[in-house]
Every structure is written in structure tokens, then in C-alpha cells.
A = this chain, B = another copy of it.
Amino acid sequence: VTSSFTDLYVQVQQFYAGQVQHLDAMRADEFAATFTKDAVFDHSPGNPPFEGREAIADEMRSYQQKRYAENPAQRRHWFHMLRVLPQDDGSIVSEYYAMLLMTKPGEPLAGPAMSYAVRDVLVFEAGELLTRERRVVPDAAR
């Protein structure tokens, strides 16, 4: 393990922490800005993936409206058990588990979690880490 792998691993952790803050605060544009302009986001197996920042932000907004306008909740995405796999082309494959905790207004507890496995491709653009590809497989869809 070289120190640059260590730096990268920590950078990926810090990157995801910022990304989920945007996601859970429903800041669609800021969330989309953590993806590359041509990013592919596949969060629903069997449906076509979303491509590009605008599509990702639009999808996030419409998903929120459908699911959370009438049934609001504070969502918290946890990404963990992170495997960072640097590739020869400079991109980084990142595999992890995701869990979604939701606390509904007036309820003291987050309901049972939703569980996912995720595979990202990350890239550096102008020194900044961005998600170029995301494939989310809900455990409920297995």
C-alpha cells in the first residue's frame, strides 16, 4: 500500500460524505454537480439509466415529488464497506454497501433500512473527484 492509495481512499470517503449531504438535503443541482457532465446513473434495475447532470437532477426532483411530497421523511444515505480499486486508465472503481434510513415527521425512530450494493466509477477532473458511473442494485430487487 503506497501512501497515495491511502490518500485516495480517504478522499473517496470525504467525497461521499459531501455527496450524500446534498442528496439527503434534496439539493438536486448540487448533488448532480458531484457527477461528471456525461455521467450514467443507474439506480433502478430494469429501467434505462439517467445520463448527464440535468437528467440526474431532474430525476432526483421527480423522485422526491413522487415519493416524498405526500410522504415526507428525513432520508439518510450511508455508504460503507468501501473497496477502492484504482484502474489503469486513471479512473477508480469503488464498490460499497448503501443503506437508507428514513425518519418520518413525528416518529422517533428511523424505520427498517433499505439495503443496496453499489458500484461507482470515479474520475478526477481538474483535481476534483466526480462520479462518472453509478450502478445501484437494491437488495430487494435480487
- Contact B139 A83, beta carbon cutoff 8 Å: no
Rounded to whole Å, the gap between the CB of A106 and the closest CB of chain B is: 8
Tell me how many residues of A have a C-beta within 8 Å of chain B: 46
- In the complex, the chain B residue whose C-beta lies closest to that of A5 is B10
- Contact B139 A110, beta carbon cutoff 8 Å: yes
- Contact A10 B11, beta carbon cutoff 8 Å: no
Contacts of A15-56 to chain B: CB distance below 8 A:
16-18, 20-21
Given contacts A95-B17, A101-B113, are A76 and B139 in contact (CB under 8 A)? yes
- Contact B140 A82, beta carbon cutoff 8 Å: no
- Contact A11 B1, beta carbon cutoff 8 Å: yes
In the bound complex, how far is the Cα of B25 from the Cα of A81, in angstroms?
Answer: 14
| Chain B hits for A103, CB < 8 A | 115, 139-140, 142
11 residue pairs of the A-B complex, CB under 8 angstroms, read A1-B7, A3-B7, A6-B6, A17-B82, A17-B96, A21-B81, A76-B99, A76-B117, A103-B115, A109-B113, A111-B112
The 9 closest A-B pairs by CB, nearest first: A103-B139, A17-B83, A74-B139, A110-B115, A109-B112, A17-B81, A9-B10, A6-B10, A108-B140
